[in-house]
């Protein structure tokens, strides 16, 4: 009986280890957990289909109003708020004459913790950006310089093709498609991603040996001379 009990204890551990090792970067969290594990993950993975469809519908409506119809943010906001105010005012006025309850308006308030969390997130992102910039300029981080230059060039090229609103709308659509497809076909995608990462590392090592590593050496030789 003792060997059987040992086998039953070891099986779950080996199974969990194998499942985490099969994932890219040996991650242990699921796609839903990586997306926050809450309402955001449910929406992006289409676990709440009505809410996911509503978000896409609202994003499409905003895109059509601003990009195709030519409305501005200020005009849409003011006209929408004016319409809501008029409707609620007439409703409340009519309720006072007909002895009916007035419209229920929820008390929406930002908590101090929410404001602090947002400010803390903005602070971290700003400090990381400044730290990366200092590393490029002062520490002569050639790898980070090449990555930043390639990223900025790519953003500049894509920005010349389309507007910022179109990019945001495409981002919303991609955010509703990519996590869902990845979660559904995770095993197949992980296999191809591992092959691509392995090939990318090989190509990066070649570039690093041929180009990047030669730049600091040349600078040091000039200083020694």
Whether residue 147 sits in one domain with residue 91: yes
Q: What are the distances in angstroms from CA 225 to CA 60, 181, 219, 222?
A: 63, 58, 10, 5
Answer yes or no: is 123 within a domain. Answer: no
Can you give the residue range of the structural domain that contains 179? 71-97+142-184
What pLDDT was estimated at residue 212? 62
Q: What is the pTM of this model?
A: 0.57
Spacing of C-alpha 142 from chain mean position? 27
Give CA–CA dist 179/44, Å, rounded.
7
How many alpha carbons fall within 13 Å on the CB side of residue 141?
Answer: 15
Closest to 140 (Cα-Cα) out of 220, 194, 35:
220
According to the model, what pLDDT value does residue 10 have? Answer: 42
Residue 175: inside a domain: yes
Residues 80 and 171 in one domain: yes
Rama region for 37: left / alpha / beta (φ>0; ψ in -120 to 50; rest): left
**Separation between Cα atoms, residue 162 and residue 221, nearest integer Å:** 46
Residue numbers of the chain with a pLDDT score lower than 70: 1-27, 211-225
Q: Which residues contact 185 (CB under 8 A, 6 or more apart)?
A: none
Residue 190 domain-assigned (yes or no):
no
pLDDT at 27: 65
Q: How far apart are CA 67 and CA 56, in angstroms?
A: 16
60 and 78 belong to one structural domain: no
Give me the residue label for tokens 């004459």: 97
pLDDT at 23: 61
């Amino acid at each position: 009986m003792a060997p059987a009990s040992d086998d039953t204890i070891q099986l779950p551990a080996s199974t969990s280890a194998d499942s985490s090792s099969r994932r890219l970067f040996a991650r242990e969290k699921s796609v839903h957990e990586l997306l926050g594990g809450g309402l955001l993950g449910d929406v992006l993975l289409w676990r709440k289909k009505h809410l996911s469809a509503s978000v896409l519908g609202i994003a499409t409506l905003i895109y059509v109003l601003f990009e195709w119809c030519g409305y501005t943010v200020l005009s849409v906001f003011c006209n929408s708020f004016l319409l809501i105010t008029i409707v609620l005012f007439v409703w409340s006025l009519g309720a006072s004459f007909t002895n009916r309850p007035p419209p229920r308006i929820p008390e929406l308030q930002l908590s101090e913790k929410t404001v602090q969390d947002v400010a803390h997130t903005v602070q971290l992102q700003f400090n990381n950006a400044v730290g990366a910039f200092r590393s490029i300029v002062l520490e002569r981080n050639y790898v980070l310089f090449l990555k930043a230059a390639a990223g900025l060039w790519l953003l500049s090229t894509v920005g010349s093709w389309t507007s910022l609103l179109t990019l945001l709308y495409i981002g919303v659509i991609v955010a509703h498609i990519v996590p869902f497809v990845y979660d559904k076909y995770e095993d197949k995608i992980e296999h191809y991603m591992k092959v691509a990462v392995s090939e990318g590392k090989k190509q990066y090592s070649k570039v690093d040996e041929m180009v990047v590593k030669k730049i600091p050496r040349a600078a040091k030789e000039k200083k020694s001379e």
